């Protein structure tokens, strides 16, 4: 088996990893914002119905 490598020893590779992580987390952020905002709207609707 090969030796275990440390990403900090390869700074260009580290920065690619950072960039990729930003893109991946942006995808999660966009999706979760959508999921959560729908949840909030649903709760608001329920509250409105209760008030009526």
Interface residue list for another protein (CB under 8 A): 1-7, 10, 12-13, 16-17, 19-21, 23-25, 27-28, 30-32, 34-36, 38-39, 41-42
- Minimum gap (Å) between residue 28 Cβ and another protein: 5
Which residue's CB is nearer to another protein, number 22 or number 51?
22
Closest CA to 44 of 29, 36, 22: 36
Q: Write the CA distances from 32 to 3, 25, 26, 29, integer angstroms.
A: 38, 10, 10, 5
- Minimum gap (Å) between residue 34 Cβ and another protein: 6
């Amino acid at each position: 088996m090969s030796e275990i490598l440390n990403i900090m020893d390869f700074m260009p590779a580290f920065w690619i990893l950072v960039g990729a992580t930003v893109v991946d987390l942006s995808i999660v952020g966009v999706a979760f914002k959508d999921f959560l905002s729908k949840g909030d709207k649903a709760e608001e609707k329920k509250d409105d119905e209760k008030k009526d």
